[in-house]
Structure 1
């Protein structure tokens, strides 16, 4: 299928051929029939990506600060790789479309195949033949409404939310500053609400359009007496509300709004405009200034948008979805006319011509730009394979032919490049939930094929090794499927999120061993492969006494609604990340945890997850002690990781994989590192183990012990007691 995309690094626009997505939990698969380009928003995005890195830095100081903080915490090399990996990738465009439902997750019972729906969401409603959208971001299209009109729903909903912030009543006078697409829709819906609408814009074309579609008047701020006209229509009082829908770098709309508004009136900011608010007249009139946030309640709320949990109508009357429905009903009744707004239509093959208009490469007036899609497309949705523990298939495939599942920035920055550099390794299929990301990785690293269907990877006879870099909740299932398909498997941490998943993995390993296949299974515990960690371990060899290892992790804050905290997707930070540090302690000591106790910091700050600030104590099988101090409340100027290890009058201190101090008999020596956390070494070691015919690189017992130790740490926190393993 075809999808519009832009390269984040170069800004180059393209029409990509990408695989059709598969249905997933809580989502609806939609064959687009039309999508609308939001010229203002998309132009801003496009221009930013076409600008130089210096210009981007100037326009995004908050992002620059985040990068600087990350350098301080994680080191220059790791941060550089992560940033460049994200930049050197394709990004989708679009957030407002309409089409036909072609597949529905079984958990959704109020949307059916064949339904005509409007779709919303910057992460979902792309300019693409087929899209995958959460339930709360699709709304049924009334019978008398066309796909093209319905495709305006998201943009119209943004306008409608601005109107709701103004709370207009019948007969009020509302000024709309900025008569582009957003302003035109705002003006039409205000008229439907019984308001007197005064439009203001610098462009005579859109002024004429507003005058022709029912505005009381539409004026030019420089050529017309806007203040006099507003005072005339309001008997000298001023406008009840001013809605600013302009997108500009000028502060003029705010100044004009202050002049036009009546005493205690409302000024609503919808468009991207500066807000340098002059004290007078806003103070003198005691103006109520409000900022409208996108489509309405539910926006940026992962529980609503991603998990499909609606807000009860008795508590939240107008959510994102109900705003979409309201616009569609207005369109069905003829109170909103989008046909007069559509100036250009482009089939998806010619979509880049629309962006030539937006970028000024063609000098034609435009307002509504619609992309259309062929009705016919091979979109048969294939269900994802379920985890099973049946007997594995006979060993098949070239072990040096690789399939990759999960094509995110971590995989493309820290794993795939090392495979690509191996002359004897063949990159066969890359699979990802989103087809554009899979296609981008295919093109970047030379995979034979991209896909959104994991069954293609497991069913490909030529593939002998699978790498899994998905979200945590898919790890165990993919390990089981890989082993049952007779393939070696490398899975990013964690191995599993709970005992049930781990039991399935163990059963698959056992069946694989009993069948004589002995495929290599390894979890990406990369830190044990880091050069300075290996030197730290060697410093204590031969070791005849127990050790104490303290691993301090300045992890940084993650919002509560981040997917890592989701029990099904991420499992939390202890299971999802602390496993790294437990494995490293096992590697340094050569011992496994036998008893665990944990204590977390308690705070009444509802934005903080208490388990994100924790001390975990391990008694190890050889008498050693391990401590992990994992904090999210530390300062970003402090390095992310420090390991201190002591035994038999020896001490070693490693800071952030950049320096190592070794002390013995009153003397110290130091070694410098590059920040190398061992990613390259682990990938090379894994592939070499396959070449050498080994069945293990890290022992299965060690990986299982690490995973169970994370479960025990969580249980210790929950039960407030020590847990024996």
Structure 2
């Protein structure tokens, strides 16, 4: 299928061939008929892409500090690689979609195949959209009209936050598409509306809808205009839908408001507020968030947990429904706003020069019969079975920034036949960049391919065990990024399959630290004597809303990240964990805590301490390991510097940061192609996983737990 994407490195807008998505649980699959181009939002993305690095930094100064902190902790080159990888990630365009449902996911009971719906799907021939971001289109509303549903909801949410009453005077600053829709919605609320804009054409459209026009370009002073119109009282409310960098707009909004007036920001402007302007009038100011309550809430949008109507009357989905009801009744008329309807393949007519004037709303029209293929071939590389042919499931940050760069020095991209991603776009971008033959949204195609003998799994954590089981059942060797499993029953099922169905297939987990040259040097220096190991992870803060904290998805950071250091200590001691005790910060810590200390007891008498903290400063080293044994000490700092005390012939090893990823993948490919013992003994992988579970149980029960 075809999809419009934006290249943030050079600003190019591309119509890309990507695999069609599969329908997910709680979602529907939609064949797009129309999508609306949001000229304001999409123009900003195009202009950002076309800007050079310095201009990009000026536009996002808050990210510059993040980059500087990363340089301090990780070094210049890894940071630059991360920045360019981020900019190289294609961005899907569009969020105003209308089409016909062609598949319904499990759990969706109120929509059917054949229903016509509006959604926040992108500019793509096929989109998969969660149920709460989809609304059924009434029969008498055309596709062209329904395409305004989502963008209209942005204006509607601003109106709801302003809470206008009958007869109030409200000013809308910025009469782009959202501004015109907002002004018309205010008119439907019984308000007298003044529209401020520099474009005479937009003001004429506004005037035709009963909106009072004000054009500063023709000499109108917006503040004096409003004061004159309201007989010196001022506006009851101001909704700002403009997009500009100046602080003058917020100042004008304050000065034109009456005492105790309300200001709502829907657009993007400079926000250097004058305290005096707000203080003297006791003004209220609020920023509106997109389509309404539920936006950016994974429980609502992705998991389908609705907000109870008596307590949250207007969610984003109910806002969608309201817009469609207004279109159905004819109270909201969007037809005069449609400037052009362009076939998808002629997208450059719109995106070639987005700064041109005279355009209000541009619509893209889609082919009647799109390609439904879930796999797209990007080169004609010939593969040979049982020669280390690789399939990758997952095209996120780890694959993009770690796995594929590491494979360049080991397996080489020519060995990779497939890459699978849920939406098809991220996998396609990586396939093209790294010469991977096939991009797919159906990973089962690679499992059924006899040429593929190694599957690399880099998805979110809750899928690791299930995908490993499926790959083993298909007779494949498996590499799975940590953790192996996030629940004990998953691990038990995996062990059963590994033993009974695929005893000859290897399972490797991404415990890369043991393959670092620093860890290898430590192992060679220490020997087999009992030792005390202290590992400290200055992990950094991750917002509570992140999926990694979700016990059912990420498993929490102890399961998902601290396991790295359980494995590293196991490697250094040459022994297995027999008991675990974990203590965490706070009066009532949960399983997903990310500030904890773990004590490990080993079979050979060694001990380990893992301090996993998220409350440290980013400028300090992220990882530090200390080993004490036989009156000798090793100190490893951030996998860049290893210092030894008391060792004959060794005092220091210094490298660029090397956490062992490249060495692990190179060794893995050699084993797959040439044979040999498992890269990491499987019983050690299982023991590390069990120790992670024991840590959580210890926290809950307040005692040592045996493994």
Q: TM-score, normalised by structure 1?
A: 0.93
- Secondary structure at the residue paired with 1:594? strand
What CA distance in whole angstroms lies between the structure 1 residues aligned with 2:591 and 2:698? 16
Asked if 1:531 is matched to 2:517, the reply is yes
Asked if 1:340 is matched to 2:336, the reply is yes
- Secondary structure at the residue paired with 1:661? strand
- Secondary structure at the residue paired with 2:42? helix
Map of 2:71 onto structure 1: 71
Partner deviation per Cα, 1:464-508 (whole Å, 9 max, x = no partner): 111111111111111111111111111111111111111222122
Following superposition, the deviation at residue 21 of structure 1 comes to 0.5
Following superposition, the deviation at residue 459 of structure 1 comes to 1.1
**Residue 359 of structure 2, aligned match among 353, 356, 366:** 366
Following superposition, the deviation at residue 612 of structure 1 comes to 0.5
Aligned 8 A contact 1:600 1:610 in 2: no
Following superposition, the deviation at residue 81 of structure 1 comes to 3.4
Following superposition, the deviation at residue 317 of structure 1 comes to 1.2
Mapping 1:700-719, distance limit 5 Å: 700-719=682-701
**Residue 305 of structure 1, aligned match among 301, 304, 308:** 301
Following superposition, the deviation at residue 26 of structure 1 comes to 2.3
Q: Which moved more, 1:372-381 or 1:708-717?
A: 372-381
What CA distance in whole angstroms lies between the structure 1 residues aligned with 2:660 and 2:373? 41
Partner deviation per Cα, 1:260-279 (whole Å, 9 max, x = no partner): 21121112111101122334
What CA distance in whole angstroms lies between the structure 2 residues aligned with 1:170 and 1:36? 32
Relative to structure 1, the CA distance from residue 283 to residue 665 in structure 2 (aligned partners, 3 Å threshold; closer, same or farther) is closer
What CA distance in whole angstroms lies between the structure 2 residues aligned with 1:228 and 1:685? 74
Relative to structure 1, the CA distance from residue 380 to residue 665 in structure 2 (aligned partners, 3 Å threshold; closer, same or farther) is closer
Map of 1:599 onto structure 2: 583
Partner deviation per Cα, 1:93-125 (whole Å, 9 max, x = no partner): 1122121122222112222222221112xxxx2
Map of 1:129 onto structure 2: 125
**Residue 262 of structure 2, aligned match among 263, 266, 269:** 266
Map of 2:114 onto structure 1: 114
- Secondary structure at the residue paired with 1:340? helix
Aligned 8 A contact 1:532 1:654 in 2: yes
**Residue 685 of structure 1, aligned match among 645, 667, 670:** 667
Following superposition, the deviation at residue 228 of structure 1 comes to 5.0
Asked if 1:574 is matched to 2:567, the reply is no
What CA distance in whole angstroms lies between the structure 1 residues aligned with 2:24 and 2:553? 13
Map of 2:283 onto structure 1: 287
What CA distance in whole angstroms lies between the structure 1 residues aligned with 2:591 and 2:620? 21
What CA distance in whole angstroms lies between the structure 1 residues aligned with 2:398 and 2:374? 28
- Secondary structure at the residue paired with 2:554? coil
- Secondary structure at the residue paired with 2:491? helix
Asked if 1:694 is matched to 2:676, the reply is yes
Relative to structure 1, the CA distance from residue 32 to residue 513 in structure 2 (aligned partners, 3 Å threshold; closer, same or farther) is closer
**Residue 249 of structure 1, aligned match among 240, 245, 250:** 245
What CA distance in whole angstroms lies between the structure 2 residues aligned with 1:256 and 1:673? 57
What CA distance in whole angstroms lies between the structure 2 residues aligned with 1:282 and 1:448? 60
Relative to structure 1, the CA distance from residue 380 to residue 3 in structure 2 (aligned partners, 3 Å threshold; closer, same or farther) is closer
What CA distance in whole angstroms lies between the structure 2 residues aligned with 1:613 and 1:513? 38
What CA distance in whole angstroms lies between the structure 2 residues aligned with 1:153 and 1:660? 59
Following superposition, the deviation at residue 258 of structure 1 comes to 2.4
Following superposition, the deviation at residue 255 of structure 1 comes to 2.8
Relative to structure 1, the CA distance from residue 228 to residue 664 in structure 2 (aligned partners, 3 Å threshold; closer, same or farther) is closer
Aligned 8 A contact 2:3 2:18 in 1: yes
- Secondary structure at the residue paired with 2:388? strand
- Secondary structure at the residue paired with 1:326? helix
What CA distance in whole angstroms lies between the structure 2 residues aligned with 1:351 and 1:250? 31
Partner deviation per Cα, 1:49-70 (whole Å, 9 max, x = no partner): 2211111112212112122223
What CA distance in whole angstroms lies between the structure 2 residues aligned with 1:62 and 1:464? 45
Partner deviation per Cα, 1:690-720 (whole Å, 9 max, x = no partner): 1221251111100011111111111111111
What CA distance in whole angstroms lies between the structure 1 residues aligned with 2:214 and 2:492? 69
Structure 2 unaligned spans of 5+:
376-383
Partner deviation per Cα, 1:160-182 (whole Å, 9 max, x = no partner): 11111111111111111111111
What CA distance in whole angstroms lies between the structure 1 residues aligned with 2:587 and 2:215? 55
Aligned 8 A contact 2:414 2:436 in 1: no
Q: TM-score, normalised by structure 2?
A: 0.95
**Residue 313 of structure 2, aligned match among 311, 317, 320:** 317
Mapping 1:128-147, distance limit 5 Å: 128-147=124-143
Structure 1 unaligned spans of 5+:
383-395
What CA distance in whole angstroms lies between the structure 2 residues aligned with 1:227 and 1:417? 57
What CA distance in whole angstroms lies between the structure 1 residues aligned with 2:334 and 2:579? 67
Asked if 1:647 is matched to 2:629, the reply is yes
**Residue 445 of structure 1, aligned match among 434, 438, 453:** 434
Following superposition, the deviation at residue 230 of structure 1 comes to 2.9
Map of 1:498 onto structure 2: 487
Aligned 8 A contact 1:512 1:519 in 2: no
Map of 2:380 onto structure 1: none
What CA distance in whole angstroms lies between the structure 2 residues aligned with 1:414 and 1:573? 19
Aligned 8 A contact 1:73 1:554 in 2: no
Relative to structure 1, the CA distance from residue 180 to residue 570 in structure 2 (aligned partners, 3 Å threshold; closer, same or farther) is same
What CA distance in whole angstroms lies between the structure 2 residues aligned with 1:248 and 1:239? 22
**Residue 403 of structure 2, aligned match among 382, 397, 415:** 415
What CA distance in whole angstroms lies between the structure 1 residues aligned with 2:675 and 2:516? 24
- C-alpha RMSD of matched pairs (Å): 2.1
Map of 1:386 onto structure 2: none
Relative to structure 1, the CA distance from residue 609 to residue 372 in structure 2 (aligned partners, 3 Å threshold; closer, same or farther) is farther
Aligned 8 A contact 2:15 2:345 in 1: yes
- Secondary structure at the residue paired with 1:505? helix
Mapping 1:648-687, distance limit 5 Å: 648-664=630-646, 669-687=651-669
What CA distance in whole angstroms lies between the structure 2 residues aligned with 1:370 and 1:479? 44
Following superposition, the deviation at residue 397 of structure 1 comes to 3.5
